[in-house]
């Protein structure tokens, strides 16, 4: 169910009073970059220099606004009056399949959407996680996230060698990326404090950050647990 060769990911939030909120993300089929909607009025909290990350790598001469912030405007507006603890059912539709999760909090599902937007918007420090969006797995566990992140990263190292570049099989740069993600999330929450009346948007990014910080801490132990699974490769 894709159009114009674009990839779509559609989230449908179903509240207990049968109210529904739908949000669709469109991505370029080759690069998985977000295809943004028109934003005629951009609020001040989206300005690049407003709460800009200390080590932001975006050239201020080419950008007036923080890309993840601008691309989150529509989503933030939809949930600015929603409490994070509201219990909902969620349907996630992609070109390949449909996922369903019942009885979860708004902040859990909303955090997943923020994660997609942030890594596909053109933030240089988040770009390296973009390949995982191509095979988006809603409601992933920590173990699944560790597997997906490390598998994606090791494939990236193979591709680097095919281009004559030095690989990082020890995954040090992956760990550094997750450290940068934490700094970005902290600043993003500060931006959201100016954009939301209730706490759904704020807590969604807080939950997203907490989850993302568990991934690097889980890499060592989780990969050891995977060794028996990969025993055929050790013979």
Q: Is residue 151 part of a domain?
A: yes
Q: What is the DSSP string of 116-141?
A: HHHHHTT-TTTGGGHHHHHT--TT--
Helix, strand and coil percent figures for the chain, each rounded to 5: 45, 15, 40
Tokens of 188: 């993003």
Q: Could you say which DSSP state residue 232 is in?
A: G
Q: What is the pTM of this model?
A: 0.89
Number of domains in the chain: 1
Q: Is residue 225 part of a domain?
A: yes
3-state secondary structure of 71: helix
Backbone angles phi, psi at 228, to 5 degrees: -65, -35
Q: Does residue 3 surpass a pLDDT of 60?
A: no
- Quote the CA–CA distance of 60 and 156 in Å, as a whole number: 29
- Quote the CA–CA distance of 44 and 58 in Å, as a whole number: 18
Q: Does residue 59 surpass a pLDDT of 70?
A: no
Q: Is residue 155 part of a domain?
A: yes
Neighbouring-strand partners of residue 104: 88
Q: Is residue 147 part of a domain?
A: yes
Q: Is residue 1 part of a domain?
A: no
5 pLDDT tier (thresholds 50, 70, 90): confident
Domain, as residue range, for 218: 7-234
Q: Is residue 2 part of a domain?
A: no
């Amino acid at each position: 169910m894709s159009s114009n060769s674009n990839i779509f990911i559609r989230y449908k939030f179903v509240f207990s009073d049968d109210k529904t909120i739908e949000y669709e993300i469109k991505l370029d089929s080759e690069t998985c970059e977000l295809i943004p909607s028109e934003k005629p009025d951009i609020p001040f909290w989206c300005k690049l220099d407003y709460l800009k990350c200390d080590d932001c790598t975006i050239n201020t001469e080419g950008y007036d606004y923080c890309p993840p912030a601008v691309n989150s405007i529509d989503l933030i507006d939809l949930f600015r009056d929603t409490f994070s603890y509201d219990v909902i059912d969620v349907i996630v539709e992609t070109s390949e399949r449909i996922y369903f999760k019942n009885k979860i909090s708004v902040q859990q599902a909303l955090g997943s959407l923020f994660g997609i937007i942030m890594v596909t918007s053109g933030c240089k420090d988040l770009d390296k996680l973009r390949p995982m969006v191509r095979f988006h797995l809603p409601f992933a566990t920590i173990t699944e996230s560790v597997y997906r992140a490390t598998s994606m990263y090791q494939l990236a190292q193979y591709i680097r060698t095919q281009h004559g570049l030095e690989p990082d099989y020890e995954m040090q740069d992956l760990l550094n990326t997750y450290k940068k993600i934490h700094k970005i999330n902290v600043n993003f929450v500060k931006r959201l404090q100016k954009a939301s009346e209730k706490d759904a948007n704020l807590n969604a990014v807080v939950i997203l950050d907490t989850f993302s910080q568990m991934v690097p801490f889980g890499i060592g132990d989780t990969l050891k647990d995977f060794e028996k699974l990969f025993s055929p490769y050790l013979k």
